[in-house]
């Protein structure tokens, strides 16, 4: 940052403090962030389409057919090189990295995140990586919001709000669904839905969707027109779709997390790249609908054009054979999550939103086909309606965002004709999936580490607290062999504390000696050389593990033991003490900051 820019920024900040209230500035900032997030979405989408257009040019068409499996590997290799030699820093996985920044980094996202996903995500998807662009778009917008807030010297609460506004702007720009985008920001980032947060989210969503209209006109990502209205006798079948969507969601989550864990055990980024890239390339070569985001496949399904989905493959499937069609479509559902997980495992950058819509649309369509061609039912269902509602079912299950699912599909269909089936399917899928998978794919790893922001305000406050600020280390240390005389003269007399840690020569914690433990004998000089610390100390009621225990766990340890002071162990060694009074004081201060 140049000296001249710093001077101008300082002058602007002084002018802002004098002429614009905080509330007004947050609203202005939200509109700006929405515009930037919209532009980020436009850049990501256009760059991806440009890469895909290059791969379809005449001079490589022959290679395109013969060596189709090479393209994903090339894309992943380019991403690897850019990460290593251009960015030189870790590129987070979209929304999970943003959630981590909110919960553990006070909403501070690295500056490179403002542009790194704009390069790496299109290379991943454009060359055939089976992931989506929504996550990287949200991450780009969130980084813009975070760094804008830092530049303007805004506090942590406002920074988090602008990150949410950027996320709403990104989703609004992608799908042209401003209401669903706001709901998405609230559900995924656990924002409080108050008037203070609602207006910034609304402004960001509006400016972003206007940006999208400016560049893309009336063109929409998903093309769908409702031809068959909802009927009361369809309810039972939508209940079945809800259960089926839950089953697919559980399968998707389990396989995705399992493959992710498998790749984390792989040693060497190059090995992961080759193994994942080759497998992905073979899958894409054999089943071309797995190539890229898959929105062309989704749109074919929504139009009922199954031939456009199954005709482009090496198996020469007959469109007249309904059983083969159903088997092929079910195969797409099963294989999409594997292709997505392989893309991430090999080092690709993207999101799971598009794969969720892909599997959801096909799942709904397949279930309708099965029912329509079954002898068990004489009822005929709208397969395209089921495809559309199926997307909501998978969003509610995999992403665990049922309200986003309902409002997004409602906005995409241009009305509320499918509102009742959307509510039925989304709620059933969400409730069943949540029973088996407690957290969505964005948050599972963070939840395991106790680093996930939720709508539980108490847990959020505890998570945002800094454990280092409540640890006290100014205690006089005792050793088990110290006699009573040394304890009194070297510790009690020189300390204002009423308890002392007892450790061995390796600084490993052994116990606590309290002033009350020696009060009755501390003036008995005849005992000064006879009694040692090891016979006076007590075992601590609980020990706090600095490396493992979250603030919530620490608070629960105080509750369960009724202790006022607990020792802290770091790397297996004594580190200090945390007092209940200091912990509660820090909690109250953080609560005031969060709810300000």
Tens digits of residue pLDDT in 125-152: 888 888 888 888 888 888 888 888 888 8
Clarify whether residues 449 and 490 are in a common domain.
Answer: no
- Per-residue pLDDT at 289 exceeds 50: yes
The reply to whether 7 falls in a domain is: no
Give the angle 427-432-435 at the CA atoms, nearest 5°.
125
**Which residue bears the tokens 């397949």?**
366
The residue ranking higher by pLDDT, 244 or 462, is: 244
Cβ atoms 594, 157 nearer than 8 A: yes
Give the total number of structural domains in the chain: 3
Distances (CA, A) of 167 to 181, 218, 570, 594: 8, 22, 37, 20
Sequence-distant (≥ 6) Cβ neighbours of residue 199 within 8 angstroms: 27, 30
The pLDDT of 93-118, averaged and rounded, is: 78
Same domain, 240 and 91: no
What is the reported pLDDT for 456? 55
Q: Out of 351-355, 459-463, 526-530, which region has the weakest mean confidence (pLDDT)?
A: 459-463
Report the chain's C-alpha Rg in angstroms: 29
The pLDDT value given to residue 395: 92
Beta strands in 75-136 (DSSP E): none
DSSP 230: -
d(CA 581, CA 565): 9
Which letter does DSSP use for residue 437 in this model?
-
Regarding whether 178 and 40 lie in a shared domain, the answer is yes
Q: What is the predicted pLDDT for the residue at 59? A: 45
In a domain, 141, yes or no: yes
pLDDT at residue 396, rounded to an integer: 92
User: Tell me, what's the pLDDT at 594?
Assistant: 59
For residue 596, the model assigns a pLDDT of 53
Residue 10 is assigned to a structural domain of this protein: no
Q: What is the pLDDT of residue 193?
A: 67
Contact 165, 200 (CB under 8 A): yes
381: tokens are: 């269902």
Q: Which of 168, 186, 216 is the last residue of a domain?
A: 216
Tens digit of pLDDT for each residue in 546-577?
A: 888 888 888 888 888 888 888 898 888 888 88
d(CA 29, CA 35): 10
Contact 242, 393 (CB under 8 A): yes
pLDDT higher at 21 or 369: 369
Q: Is residue 13 part of a domain?
A: no
Identify the weakest region by mean pLDDT among 109-113, 418-422, 449-453.
449-453
Same domain, 165 and 278: no
What is the C-alpha separation between 171 and 354, in angstroms, rounded?
12
Query: Facing residues of 569 across strands?
Result: 545, 574
Q: Which of 455, 472, 489 is the last residue of a domain?
A: 455
What is the rounded average pLDDT of the residues 348-373? 90
Would you give the distance in Å from CA 107 to the centre of its chain?
Answer: 13
Over 70: is that where the pLDDT of 446 sits?
no
Residue 566 lies in a domain: yes
Establish if 376 belongs to a structural domain: yes
- Distance, CA of 35 to chain centre: 23
User: Which span out of 205-219, 417-431, 463-477 was modeled with the highest average pLDDT?
Assistant: 417-431
* Residue, of 218 and 366, whose pLDDT is higher: 366
Summarize the confidence of residues 37-45 as an average pLDDT: 89
Can you state the angle between helices 235-264 and 383-398, rounded to 10 degrees?
50
Note whether residue 221 is domain-resident: no
Specify whether the CB–CB gap between 470 and 555 falls below 8 A: no
Same domain, 433 and 569: no
* Neighbour order of strands in the sheet with 573-579: 471-472, 573-579, 565-570, 544-545
* pLDDT at 58 > cutoff 60: no
Q: Cβ contacts of residue 38 below 8 Å, gap of 6+? A: 169, 170, 172, 173, 207, 208, 209, 210, 211, 212
The Cα–Cα gap between 441 and 74 comes to 27
464 with 405, same domain?
Answer: no
Residue 507 is given by DSSP the state -
What's the chain's average pLDDT?
A: 83
Q: Enumerate the β-bridge partners of residue 565.
A: 579
CB contact at 8 A, 21 and 29 = no
Q: Are residues 543 and 487 in the same domain?
A: yes
The token pair that represents 163 in the structure block: 């990150």
pLDDT, mean of residues 249-265: 89
Residue 303 CA to residue 226 CA, distance in Å, equals 10
Same domain, 203 and 59: yes
Residues 92 and 164 in one domain: yes
Query: CA-CA distance, 107 to 91, in Å (whole number)?
Result: 16
Residue 335 has pLDDT above 60, yes or no: yes
**497 vs 205, more confident:** 205
The domain containing residue 57 runs over which residues? 19-216
**Whole-number Å distance between alpha carbons of 594 and 458:** 10
- 452: helix, strand or coil: coil
What is the structure's pLDDT at 318?
Answer: 67
Query: From CA 312, how far away is CA 335, in angstroms rounded?
Result: 16
**286 lies in the same domain as 427:** yes
Residue at a domain's end among 455, 475, 499:
455
Q: Who's near 515: CB < 8 A, 6+ residues apart? A: 492, 498, 499
Give residue 286's pLDDT. 84
Asked if residues 132 and 125 have their Cβ atoms less than 8 Å apart, the reply is yes
First to last CA, the chain: 31
| 4 domain residue, yes or no | no
497 in the same domain as 377: no
Higher pLDDT, 592 or 495: 495
| Whether residue 434 is found in the same domain as residue 310 | yes
Is 60 exceeded by the pLDDT of residue 34? Answer: yes
- 546: domain CATH number is 3.10.580.10
Residue 27: helix, strand or coil by DSSP?
helix
Query: What's residue 244's pLDDT?
Result: 94
Average pLDDT over residues 299-326: 77
Does residue 504 contact residue 480 with C-beta atoms inside 8 Å? yes
Closest CA to 474 of 448, 455, 494: 494
What the block records as the tokens of 98 is: 């943003």
**Per-residue pLDDT at 173 exceeds 60:** yes
Whose tokens are 């002071």? That residue is 565
Q: Is 394 in contact with 367 (CB distance < 8 Å)?
A: no
Percent of the chain beyond pLDDT 70? 90
Per-position b or e across 114-128, b if 16+ CB within 10 A of its CB: bebbbbbbbbbbbbb
CATH of the domain at 71: 1.10.3080.10
Per-residue model confidence (pLDDT) at position 240: 94
Give dist(CA 341, CA 353) in Å, integer. Answer: 13
- Measured CA to CA, the distance from residue 414 to residue 224 in angstroms comes to 9
CA dist 39 and 166 (Å) reads: 11
């Amino acid at each position: 940052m140049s000296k001249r820019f710093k001077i101008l920024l300082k002058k602007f900040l002084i002018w802002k403090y004098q002429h614009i209230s905080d509330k007004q500035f947050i609203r202005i900032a939200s509109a700006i962030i929405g515009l930037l997030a919209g532009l980020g979405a436009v850049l990501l989408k256009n760059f991806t389409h440009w890469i895909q257009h290059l791969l379809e040019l005449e001079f490589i068409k022959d290679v395109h057919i013969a060596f189709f499996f090479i393209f994903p590997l090339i894309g992943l290799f380019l991403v690897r090189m850019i990460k290593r030699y251009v960015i030189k820093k870790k590129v987070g996985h979209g929304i999970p990295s943003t959630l981590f920044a909110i919960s553990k980094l006070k909403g501070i996202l690295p500056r490179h995140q403002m542009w790194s996903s704009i390069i790496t995500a299109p290379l991943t998807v454009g060359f055939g990586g089976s992931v989506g662009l929504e996550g990287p778009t949200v991450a780009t917008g969130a980084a813009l919001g975070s760094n804008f807030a830092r530049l303007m010297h805004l506090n942590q609460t406002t920074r988090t709000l602008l990150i949410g506004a950027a996320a709403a702007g990104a989703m609004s720009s992608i799908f042209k669904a401003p209401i669903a985008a706001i709901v998405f920001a609230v559900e995924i980032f656990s924002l409080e839905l108050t008037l203070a947060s609602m207006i910034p989210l609304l402004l960001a969503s509006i400016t972003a969707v206007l940006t999208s209209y400016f560049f893309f006109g009336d063109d929409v990502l998903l093309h769908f027109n409702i031809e068959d209205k909802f009927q009361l006798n369809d309810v039972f079948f939508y209940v079945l779709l809800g259960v089926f969507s839950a089953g697919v969601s559980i399968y998707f989550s389990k396989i995705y997390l399992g493959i992710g864990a498998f790749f984390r055990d792989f040693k060497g980024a190059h090995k992961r790249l080759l193994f994942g890239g080759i497998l992905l390339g073979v899958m894409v070569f054999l089943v071309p609908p797995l190539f890229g985001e898959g929105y062309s496949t989704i749109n074919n399904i929504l139009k009922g054009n199954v031939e456009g989905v199954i005709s482009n493959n090496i198996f020469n499937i007959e469109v007249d054979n309904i059983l083969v069609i159903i088997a092929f479509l079910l195969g797409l559902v099963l294989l999409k999550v594997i292709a997505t997980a392989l893309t991430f495992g090999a080092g690709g950058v993207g999101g799971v939103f598009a794969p969720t819509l892909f599997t959801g649309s096909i799942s709904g369509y397949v279930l309708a086909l099965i029912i329509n061609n079954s002898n068990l039912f004489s009822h005929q269902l709208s397969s395209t309606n089921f495809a559309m509602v199926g997307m909501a079912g998978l969003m509610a299950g995999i992403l665990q965002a049922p309200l986003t699912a309902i409002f997004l599909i409602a906005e995409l269909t241009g009305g509320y004709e499918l509102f009742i089936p959307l509510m039925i399917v989304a709620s059933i899928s969400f409730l069943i999936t949540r029973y088996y998978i407690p957290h969505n794919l964005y948050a599972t790893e963070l939840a395991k580490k106790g680093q996930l922001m939720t709508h539980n305000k108490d847990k959020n406050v505890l998570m945002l607290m800094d454990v280092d600020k409540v640890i006290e280390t100014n205690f006089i240390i005792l050793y088990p062999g110290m006699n009573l005389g040394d304890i009194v003269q070297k510790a009690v007399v020189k300390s204002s504390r009423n308890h002392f840690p007892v450790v061995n020569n390796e600084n490993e914690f052994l116990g606590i000696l309290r002033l009350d433990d020696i009060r009755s004998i501390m003036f008995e000089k005849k005992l000064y050389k006879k009694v040692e610390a090891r016979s006076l100390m007590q075992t601590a009621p609980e020990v706090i593990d600095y490396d493992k225990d979250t603030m919530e766990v620490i608070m629960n340890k105080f509750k369960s033991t009724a202790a006022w002071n607990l020792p802290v162990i770091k790397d297996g060694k004594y580190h200090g003490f945390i007092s209940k009074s200091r912990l509660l004081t820090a909690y109250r201060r953080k609560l005031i900051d969060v709810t300000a």
